[in-house]
Amino acid sequence: MTRLIDLPTLAHLVHGIGVPRFMALLAERIEADFARWPAFDKSARTASHSARGVIELMPVADATHYSFKYVNGHPFNPAQGLPTVMAFGVLAEVATGYPLLLAELTLTTALRTAAASVVAARALARRDSRSMALIGNGAQSEFQALAFHALLGIAELRVFDVDRAATDKLVRNLAAAAPALRVRRAASTAEAVRGADIVTTATADKARATILTPGMVEPGMHLNAVGGDCPGKTELHADVLRGSRIFVEYEPQTRTEGEIQQLAADHPVTELWRVLTDQAPGRRHAGEVTVFDSVGFALEDFSALQVLHRLAHERGVGRDIALVPTDGDPKDLFGRMHPAAAAPRLRLRLRSVA
């Protein structure tokens, strides 16, 4: 049987563990999987673009497990009462193709994106970083704030969004979720980033925006660029990039989708896994400006699905569904159309995940 983790189940699981602990588990698994980067069969995601958004498939596999995520990005969705991003994913055995897990990944994507941001910041930001500016206060913002507060020691957050209601929502949610985190509203991006150790940009507009300009960047900043994640969508002025050292997840994908789509194809970047395995330096000195050009990569979803699958069995959450035939004559698919034959027998097919 295939274990199903739907949105209510995932929310119950995260609530039971606690958001900081859950993101710590994600960060631990993401860092461990990035450290064995050569073991994975990797490719850039397959995207279907339209005038109003994009639908993508994100596959990755090692010798034992395969995963993919279905995810969309539609900036106009909130006006229709729908999230900008919606996702689900599958974890399967490589040896048999058997699907072990079918899981919601909308909420999980926000959690793993924040966890991946922290993994990068640990390697790239100054160790004494305590303040962060958060530009873009929409659906991703609470997750980024909580991850940096709980896992990196950020004590002060300066927030700005052109949508004041989004900032109101963020401030209200953080007051309840992280009362020790000092949250300051800013009147502009420039005010929010002034003096910040880390700047996170997480805006949603599908446009070549310049949320951050060179005059706003100060020596020693770490820039966590989360919002630019498809062709034609950027947040940083190109000269900000030219004046920084740039780190990416998977270069072939980021060249097309990330902030570096604005730069020449041979502009130097470093894949994050090389820093995590000590094959390339991270921050070289306190005054260096670093950029994590994060577009989201399938390996992060692989890590998240592994964590979900393990926790689901350890804690007995989710339910088993007959997604594929697992009994009877495997060559008699036609016979499965009979109602009696199609009714699943309660025979669990439990698989372990390393």
Give the pLDDT band (50/70/90) at residue 44. very high
Decide if pLDDT at 347 tops 70: no
Do residue 284 and residue 323 come from a single domain?
no
354 lies in a domain? no
Task: Check if 229 is active-site.
Answer: yes
pLDDT at position 230 = 74
Do residue 136 and residue 280 come from a single domain?
yes
Query: Which residue type does 122 have?
Result: R
Do residue 134 and residue 57 come from a single domain?
no
Average per-residue pLDDT for the chain: 93
Catalytic one among 33, 161, 197, 229?
Answer: 229
Query: Which residue type does 210 have?
Result: T
Please count the CA atoms within 13 angstroms of the CA of 246 that sit on its side-chain side: 26
Do residue 291 and residue 305 come from a single domain?
no
Residue with the larger pLDDT of the pair 317 and 353: 317
pLDDT at position 348 = 45
Do residue 283 and residue 310 come from a single domain?
no
Decide if pLDDT at 321 tops 80: yes
Do residue 236 and residue 205 come from a single domain?
yes
Do residue 252 and residue 335 come from a single domain?
no
Decide if pLDDT at 352 tops 60: no
229 lies in a domain? yes
Distance between CA atoms of residues 75 and 230, nearest Å? 12
Domain of 246 in residue numbering reads as: 110-296
pLDDT at position 343 = 60
Do residue 68 and residue 163 come from a single domain?
no
> What would you measure as the largest C-alpha separation in the chain, in angstroms?
70
Do residue 122 and residue 63 come from a single domain?
no
User: What is the pLDDT averaged over residues 243-256?
Assistant: 97
Do residue 268 and residue 148 come from a single domain?
yes
pLDDT at position 138 = 92
**pLDDT-above-90 percentage for the chain:** 83
Residue with the larger pLDDT of the pair 348 and 95: 95
User: What is the pLDDT averaged over residues 137-145?
Assistant: 95
Count the Cβ atoms, other than its own, within 10 Å of residue 303. 26
351 lies in a domain? no
Distance between CA atoms of residues 270 and 283, nearest Å? 12
CATH number at residue 82: 3.30.1780.10
Decide if pLDDT at 142 tops 80: yes
Give the pLDDT band (50/70/90) at residue 9. very high
Q: Which two tokens stand for residue 281?
A: 């330096």
Do residue 146 and residue 283 come from a single domain?
yes
0.75 surpassed by pTM = yes
pLDDT at position 346 = 44
CB 292 within 8 A of CB 225: yes
Q: Give 222-286 as a DSSP string.
A: EEEE-S--BTTBEEE-HHHHHTSEEEES-HHHHHHHSGGGGS-TT---EEHHHHHTTSS-S--ST
CATH number at residue 221: 3.40.50.720
255-313 per-position pLDDT tens digit:
999 999 999 999 999 999 999 999 999 999 999 999 999 999 999 999 999 999 999 99
User: What is the pLDDT averaged over residues 328-349?
Assistant: 71
Distance between CA atoms of residues 322 and 285, nearest Å? 55
Domain count, the chain: 2
Decide if pLDDT at 206 tops 70: no
353 lies in a domain? no
User: What is the pLDDT averaged over residues 240-257?
Assistant: 97
Do residue 231 and residue 142 come from a single domain?
yes
151 lies in a domain? yes
CB 252 within 8 A of CB 230: no
Name the nearest CA neighbour of 149 among 185, 195, 105, 117.
117
Distance between CA atoms of residues 186 and 175, nearest Å? 17
248 lies in a domain? yes
348 lies in a domain? no
347 lies in a domain? no
Q: Which two tokens stand for residue 218?
A: 């100060």
pLDDT at position 351 = 53
pLDDT at position 200 = 98
The full length of the chain comes to: 354
Question: What element of type H or E holds 192?
Answer: helix 189-193
CA dihedral for 217, 220, 226, 231, sign (positive or negative) = positive
| Highest mean pLDDT, choosing among 223-237, 271-285, 315-329 | 271-285
Residue that finishes a domain, picked among 263, 281, 296: 296
User: What is the pLDDT averaged over residues 116-144?
Assistant: 97
User: What is the pLDDT averaged over residues 190-207?
Assistant: 90
